[in-house]
Amino acid sequence: MLDHLRQKAAQTLASVRSVILSSYGPGELQSSRVPCISKDLSLYVFIPYSSDHLLNLEHRPGVVAATDEWDLHGTARVLTPNEIPIGIRPAEGYTDTSKPASGTHSAWGCVVEIRPTRLTLHASTGQGNLETIDF
């Protein structure tokens, strides 16, 4: 990938704190707003234990994360606690009380890493796409 496109994609992802995550699988089509944070070209989303997204990701890792400004297609996987990069934690006040904290994750749920395959930037007019970056 060209350096200027990599930098543009990283800057685009860096500004967001929540996305609409969509997944499909045995839990049917799921779409929900989830908190997130980015590091380099990966997007990390925080999913509650009770979410059917987790069931879907076990069978189909393809997801779409969207904001008003862009759509990100990518491959998702649930991280183990040892795989979570330093500094990747949900915003203050975010908790998931559907399951207690255990040795595998924490009280707020699971961290899911999304590795992008395509980033589509929307035109500011709301009509059409401005640019598509394939990874």
Residue 106 has pLDDT above 80, yes or no: no
Residue 45 has pLDDT above 50, yes or no: yes
Q: What is the pLDDT of residues 74-103, one digit of tens each?
A: 999 999 988 988 888 765 544 444 443 444
Full DSSP string of the chain: --HHHHHHHHHHHHT-SEEEEEE-STT-SEEEEEEEEEETTEEEEEE-TT-HHHHHHHH--EEEEE-SSEEEEEEEEEPPGGGSPTT--PPTT----SS---SSSBTTBEEEEEEEEEEEEEPTTSSSEEEEEE-
Average pLDDT of the chain is: 86
* Structural domain total, the chain: 1
- Which position has the higher pLDDT, 51 or 123? 51
pLDDT at 96: 47
- Find the domain containing 71 and state its range: 3-85+93-134
Q: What is the CATH number of the domain that holds 41?
A: 2.30.110.10
